[in-house]
Amino acid sequence: MSARRRVRGGLRRGGAVFLGIGALSLASGGVAIAQSASALAQGSSAPAPSTHLILVTGLGGAPEYSDLFLAQGRSLLEAARGRWGLPEANTVWLAEAPERAPGLINGRSTRKALEAEVLAAAGRAGPNDGVLIVLIGHGSGSGGDSKINLPGPDVSGADLAVWLNAFTTQTVAVVNTASASGGFVSALSGDRRIVVTATRSTRERERTYFGSYFVDAFIADGADTDKDQRVSLLEAFQYARREVGRRYERDNQLLTEHAMLDDNGDGEGTAEPGATVGDGPLAGGFFLASAGRTVTRAAADDPELARLLIEKGRLEGRIAALRMMKDTMDPAKYDAQLETLVLELATTNRSIRDKGSGS
């Protein structure tokens, strides 16, 4: 293992992703969903994994952008706490002008404040918890070095990479919706890491629309493509990327932003992640939703749907565990087991979609 990989990702461990049950269900590759749902069904009082949201809205530079970033931040925070059940204690919002939303914004979005909040989250997060960091604003960069523009000194991907080493077992997802954000992929890529950027390089410096649609994914219903009453980070990425493309096409403009996702630790993002191989599986099990609340609501309304959601979590957990063992298994045996589990998951997802469509 290279020293560079150790700095970025810490010690190599299997992929985990975050999903809480009593909090926000952003769990480890489905493992936490399966464990939480099982504990719920058995009446267990064992604490479930939690999710911690750090939301940052940076410098607007002009009133129209300051208003836009503030609106996006407010919408995402309110959706996380309201629709998806994330406890207020698990959220932090740093913004350019805290006085514009008293009671919601926790402090000014300076470099020092962001570092403090990241390290504080590392101190309070449980070993299986997850952390979602969402950066909204303008970006800049040169070569492969991207920065998010904040009041005072900007923050680069390299800066954030150092702070993220404080998370030794937790899964961390970083979503940078700013222009010129592509350099965050190579800077942050590693084990238990999901990195999403609005652009593929620092050369894409025009304003981005990705952030608006990323937030919309957790507010509207269109992003939940598998109809399981949750929106995964993969679904949110795919929704935002698709809507960005439609906007440029509708406006008859050349596409100037190409969103990327990396979650397999190779430092190379992709514009078209998938649910089973390459980039995408980790993000596909990473949800902004309360797994426990989803299961209990489903159980009250439809016991069969509740059973399917629990089975989905169990299968996602088995797939995540199998992927962790890939390097120690016979390739043919690994492929056969993975194919069986993926087919079972596809069948379960189809049944959930049928339930959601009223079939």
Residues 312 and 237 in one domain: no
Handedness of CA 263, 131, 61, 142 (dihedral sign): negative
> DSSP 3-state assignment of 69?
helix
Question: Phi and psi dihedrals of 252, rounded to 5?
Answer: 55, 45
Q: Which two three-digit tokens encode residue 114? A: 């962001």
With bands split at pLDDT 50, 70 and 90, how would you rate the model's confidence at 295? low
> Is residue 84 within 8 Å of residue 288, measured between CB atoms?
yes
pLDDT of 156? 98
Rounded distance between C-alpha atoms, residue 51 and residue 85, angstroms: 10
At residue 311, what is the residue type? E
Residues 287 and 315 in one domain: no
pLDDT of 8 above 50? no
pLDDT of 44? 42
Range of the domain at 182: 3-292
Q: Which two three-digit tokens encode residue 236? A: 């949110």
Residues 189 and 244 in one domain: yes
Rounded distance between C-alpha atoms, residue 26 and residue 225, angstroms: 17
Residues 243 and 216 in one domain: yes
pLDDT of 9 above 50? no
Within a domain: 297: no
pLDDT of 30 above 70? no
With bands split at pLDDT 50, 70 and 90, how would you rate the model's confidence at 31? very low
Least confident window among 47-56, 179-188, 301-310: 301-310
Residue ending a domain, choose from 292, 316, 341: 292
pLDDT of 357? 53
Rounded distance between C-alpha atoms, residue 162 and residue 178, angstroms: 20
Within a domain: 31: yes
Within a domain: 90: yes
Q: What is the pLDDT of residues 119-136, one digit of tens each?
A: 999 999 888 887 899 999
Model pTM score:
0.78
pLDDT of 296? 53
CATH number of the domain where residue 264 is located: 3.40.50.1460
With bands split at pLDDT 50, 70 and 90, how would you rate the model's confidence at 307? confident
